[in-house]
Structure formats: C-alpha cells, structure tokens
Chains A and B, each alone.
Chain A
C-alpha cells in the first residue's frame, strides 16, 4: 500500500508541476505586455518598471518560474485589475460558495445516481429499469443551465418557492443558506447523477452476474444481503472513480450554475474576469482549479485503497 500511495503521490506532484508550467506559459501567451496586464489602473512607465522588477519579468525564464511558484505557494496571485483588491481575498469570499454548492451537488447526485443505478440493475428488464434508464439518458442530454433557467422562470418566479437568485452565507443563516442553494445544487447534480447512475448500473450488472454473487446466493443469503454486501460493495469502487473523474465537469457546471442563480462564487468571479480581461484573476482561477482537481483525485485514490483490499494490502491496483 505504501508503494501504491507513493507512486500516486509522485504522479500527482508531477502533474501539478506540469500544470503550473502550462499556466505560467499561458500567462506569457496573453496578448500584450504582462506588466501591462498586471499593472491595473496605474500604467505609468515607473509603475510598469516597478512591476517588472517586483514580478521579476527582467529575469531569465527559469528564475521567473521559480519566483512564480514561490508567489503562488504564498497565495500571492496578484491584484485584481478591475477592483484593485488582492485576488487571494476575492477567492476567500468566493470559494466557500462554490465548495458548498459542489459538495451538496455531489451528495445529491451520488444518492440519486447510486440508488437509481442499483434499482435499474436489480429490476433488469422491468418497467423500473426503463424509467431509470430513460431518466438517465435525459439527465445526460439536458443542458442543465437551461433546466436552471426554466426552474427560475417557472418555479422560483412563478411560485416563489425558491429564491431566484442571491446567496446567504451558511454561518449567517443556515436555513436561508440552504434555501438559496438547494435548487442550484439539484440542477448542478442532474448531469452527474445521470453519469453515476449509468456507471453504477453497468457495474452492478457485472457484479450481479459474477461468480461471487452466485456463491453468495448459493449460501442462502437474502437478495438484499446479496445486493448490498456483495454486488454493491464491489460496484462502489467504480462509483468513486466516476465521481473523481467527473469533478472537472462539475467545476464547469458550477461556473454556469452560479452565473444563472447569481451566486457570488468562484464561477461568477471567473466569468466576470474574462469579460473584464482581469488576467490575474483568470490565472488564479485556472491554477486553482487544476490544483483542486489533482489534489481531490489523489484523495480519491486514497479512498480507493480503503475500499479495495487488493490495493490496500498488496499495492497492485486491480
């Protein structure tokens, strides 16, 4: 297991380094003088010179990169061109919203997706399977931002059941917070739920026709025990992988969902930054997303090793 974790840790670190390099060069590929981009309001030659020196733009590339990494590690993402506030402080207010939204969406999607997937596999060839499959196909094909639009138009505005936009921090008023975020989370979770359902279903169909499930039946276990103790346990490995891999899609989805519901999160910040050419913000967003993806998938690998004894004990992934 130690070897497995070390390998994974090393691979994650390497990917992290590579993605930092990509972003570093991406920033240099931005149109115009990077000093100009970083300068914000004050574009006097002296200010530009100061920025060049501060960011080491007059140094050779490797040195620049080293300094870049150092700044990023210290959380110095520069200053927003538009607002003049440090990007790091913008992130501290925006991130909690996005994290809450995503976590809630993942929880909802997993509960729904695993439940429906198991049901479809167990009720193979019966109406329940058709319904579950159909819902999953629709969930996979529907543009969820459109669902969000419809939900606002025909649910929030028409019935007033949910607020159409806005956000209340969870520490301020947890109930109101949930009230604001549950609809966006449901909308964001639809696509993920569909993917989880389909993967769970096919993993369950495989497990249900496996030899060890036949053994479990031959032991005289109840169907419920056969499904939960034997078939589902093995299928969960697949579910965990799917959630990890779909994280990218979820981040993309969160950006749009926040935009639609006017949630003041990371996504809204990103889109605003693109239109205002707020490069320091864009850069921070890109780098942070990549880091989050890599770190979370490393955690998923850890979780793997908890679920799958073949990894835990010997270190060979199955």
Chain B
C-alpha cells in the first residue's frame, strides 16, 4: 500500500503546524521529556560549573588524598592529589559537552555544504564521494594520533579529529535528503521559474533538510563525547591538570588498587550524558517521521 504524503514542511506555509505537531509528539513521549530534562540540567551545570563547583578544580589537599565518597566536605571524595572529585566531574562534564558541540559544529560546517553539493550537482557527486571514502579510511583515533603527532594533543585538536571523522556521516544524510527534495515538485517549480542553484539550495533545500541535520547532530554529539573520553583517557585529548572525565578514568586505572570507586562515577556521568542525547535523538527521529502517526 503506497501512502502519498507530502511532508508538510515542504509546502512552506504549513511548516508552523508541522513544528507544533513535532513538539506535541515530543511532549507526549516520556522518554523524550526525561532525556530533555537531563540534558537541560547537564547544560545548566556545565555552564555554571565555574561558579557553582564547591572547590577550585586545581585546589590540592595532600593531607586528604583518596577520600572516599561521602567524606564530609567532599561529597564524592577526593583524588590522588586531594582534589575535589565533584568539582572535577562538573568541569569535566563541561569539557565533554564543549568537545561534543565543537566536534559536531566542525562536521556540520564542512559536511552540510558538501552534502548539499553532492546531492544537487551531479558532477560533484563522484568527487565528494571519493573525499568521503578518504575520510572514512582514517578512523577518528588514527586521525587524532596523526593530529597529536603534528600539532600536539589538546582539547581543540581532539574535537577537530572527532569532527573530521564525523563529516562522512553528515555528507551522507544531507546528500540523500537533498536528492529526495530535489525530486519534489516545489523545487522543480522553483528551478523552472529561473531561480539560481544557490537560491534553490539556500531557500528550498537547506530549510527542509534541517530536520535530518538536527537528528544527525543529536546522535553525533554523544559519539563525540565518547570519543573525547577515549582520547583523554589515552592522553591524546584534554591535558592534565585540566579536568576531563577521560583523564579521571585514566588516573583511576592507575590507582585502582587504592581507590577502586574512583573509576565508577566519571564513567557513569559520560554514559548518562551520551544516553540522554541518544534517547532524545531517537525520540526526535520518531517525532519527525511523517509515518509516525500510523505506528
């Protein structure tokens, strides 16, 4: 059975009703609401952490190293240098989100134009495909290893390595959505009316492709957060003494015999952040699915 539905956003005028419908579907989905609240809280804490963290992240207390969680004054205990774990987790989460956003921004800035071009101009498709293949051949960790060798390890380089590795995914979804939109009547009509390619891309295709870009970004952020954790754990990302959840885990591994609990919390926070993004991304995808009502 073929259902002929023209997604409403594509008729332009109806985009408001479509947005309210998507929002309504999100509000009705408890998983979406919970994950959104978690993300909002995490964002608030991350933004405010320099002010609300109980201690300065660098404040050491050699009299009190490896205090277990629940120690008065240090809710989550202290680390090998006597620094407050809660404060470091808060700022570490902030760094995770920073890398996540930075990486995804990098991949969108490069990937979206390339995806549009690959989908819209036939001649560019083959060239961009080769570029995608080339990027795919360098996994993010290898990319990070290369960048670290050339430019040194840092938060920025980690984010760039992750972002570059995420470009192919962006190109793929934008390209296929562009191909789909290009074949729709209203785009053809605009072309017949003599609109320039750039105009068609900017006014007709890009706005309608935002939903797939949004979903792609929502699932790319948690991947980037995990990537940052891996790189920092290996020493290829954020450099000590800057707080990072990944480096906290590396320290925990080093001192596993003395403070085995230290390995638990940073991991839980990373997982919680990634999980919230992934759950919200799933809910968003379902809410945007034009077939969603029938299911």
| Touching chains A and B, CB distance < 8 Å | yes
Q: Which residues of A contact B (CB under 8 A)?
A: 11, 14-15, 18-19, 22, 26, 29-31, 137-138, 140-143, 145-147, 149-150, 152-154, 157, 245, 247-249, 251-252, 255-256, 259-260, 270-271, 274-275, 277, 279, 282, 285-286, 289-290, 293-294, 297
Query: Once the chains are docked, how many angstroms separate the CA of A251 from the CA of B142?
Result: 9
The contact of B142 among A137, A140, A279, A289, by CB within 8 Å, is A289
Decide yes or no whether B275 CB sits under 8 A from chain A.
yes
Interface status of B148 (Cβ within 8 A of chain A): yes
* A293 touching B145, Cβ below 8 Å: no
Name the CB-closest residue of B to A289: B142
Known: A138-B271, A149-B256, A252-B140. 16 other contacts (CB 8 A): A11-B129, A15-B130, A15-B134, A30-B149, A137-B275, A141-B222, A142-B271, A145-B233, A145-B249, A147-B267, A248-B140, A251-B141, A251-B142, A271-B236, A286-B142, A289-B138
Rounded to whole Å, the gap between the CB of A154 and the closest CB of chain B is: 8
Do residues B139 and A143 form an inter-chain contact, with CB atoms below 8 A? no
Judge whether B253 is part of the interface by a CB distance below 8 angstroms.
yes
Assess A290 versus B137: contact at CB under 8 Å? Given A143-B271, A149-B249, A149-B252: yes
Q: Which of B247-295 contact A (CB under 8 A)?
A: 249, 252-253, 256, 260, 263-264, 266-267, 270-271, 274-275, 277-279, 282
**Which residues of B lie under 8 Å from residue A11 when comparing CB positions?**
129-130, 133
CB distance from A297 to the nearest CB of B (A): 8
CB-defined contacts of B8 to chain A, threshold 8 Å: none
Are B149 and A153 in touch, CB under 8 angstroms?
A: no
A159 and B222 CA atoms in complex are apart in Å by 33
Report B134-155 CB contacts with A as 1/0, cut-off 8 Å: 1011111110011011100000
Q: Report yes or no: A293 in contact with B137, Cβ–Cβ below 8 A.
A: yes
Contact status of A252 and B230, CB under 8 A, knowing A282-B145, A290-B137, A290-B138: yes
Chain B positions near chain A (C-beta within 8 angstroms) = 129-130, 133-134, 136-142, 145-146, 148-150, 165, 222, 226-227, 229-230, 233-236, 249, 252-253, 256, 260, 263-264, 266-267, 270-271, 274-275, 277-279, 282
Contact of A275 among B233, B235, B267 (CB under 8 A): B235
How far is it, in angstroms, between the C-alpha of A153 and the C-alpha of B255 when the chains are bound?
11
Are A29 and B279 touching (Cβ within 8 A)? no
A153 adjacent to B260 (CB under 8 Å): yes
Across the interface, which residues of A come within 8 angstroms of B222, CB to CB? Answer: 140-141
Sample of 7 A–B contacts (CB below 8 Å): A15-B133, A145-B249, A146-B229, A154-B260, A251-B141, A255-B141, A286-B138
Q: Which residue of A lies closest to B129 (CB)?
A: A11
> Are B234 and A285 in contact (CB-based, < 8 A)?
no
Chain A residues closer than 8 Å to B227, beta-carbon distance? 252
User: Across the interface, which residues of B come within 8 angstroms of A26, CB to CB?
Assistant: 146, 150
B175 to chain A, nearest CB (A): 15
Report B289 CB to chain A, min CB distance, Å.
Answer: 11
A171 smallest CB distance to B (angstroms): 28
Pairwise interchain contact B263-A146, C-beta atoms closer than 8 A: yes
Given contacts A26-B146, A293-B137, contact A146 B271 (CB under 8 A): yes
Cβ contacts under 8 Å, A270 to chain B:
142, 145
Q: Are B145 and A279 in contact (CB under 8 A)?
A: no
Interchain CB contact (< 8 A) of B136 among A137, A140, A245, A252: A245
Are A149 and B253 in contact, with the CB atoms below 8 A? yes
Q: Which residues of A contact B146 (CB under 8 A)?
A: 26, 282, 286
Query: For residue A141, which residues in chain B have a CB less than 8 angstroms away from its CB?
Result: 222, 226, 271, 274-275, 277-278
- The answer to whether A294 and B137 touch across the interface, beta carbons within 8 angstroms, is yes
A22 to B249, CA, bound (A): 33
The smallest beta-carbon distance between B218 and chain A, in angstroms, is 13
Contacts of B138 in A (CB 8 A): 19, 22, 248, 286, 289-290, 293
Q: Which of A14, A245, A277 contacts B149 (CB 8 A)?
A: A277
Q: Which residue of A lies closest to B246 (CB)?
A: A143
Task: Choose from A29, A31, A137, A251 the contact partner of B139 (Cβ within 8 Å).
Answer: A251
Q: Are A143 and B253 neighbours in the complex by a CB distance under 8 Å?
A: no
Whether the Cβ atoms of B267 and A149 lie closer than 8 Å is yes
B202 to chain A, nearest CB (A): 30
CB distance from B227 to the nearest CB of A (A): 8
Give every chain B residue within 8 A of A256 (Cβ-Cβ).
141, 230, 233-234
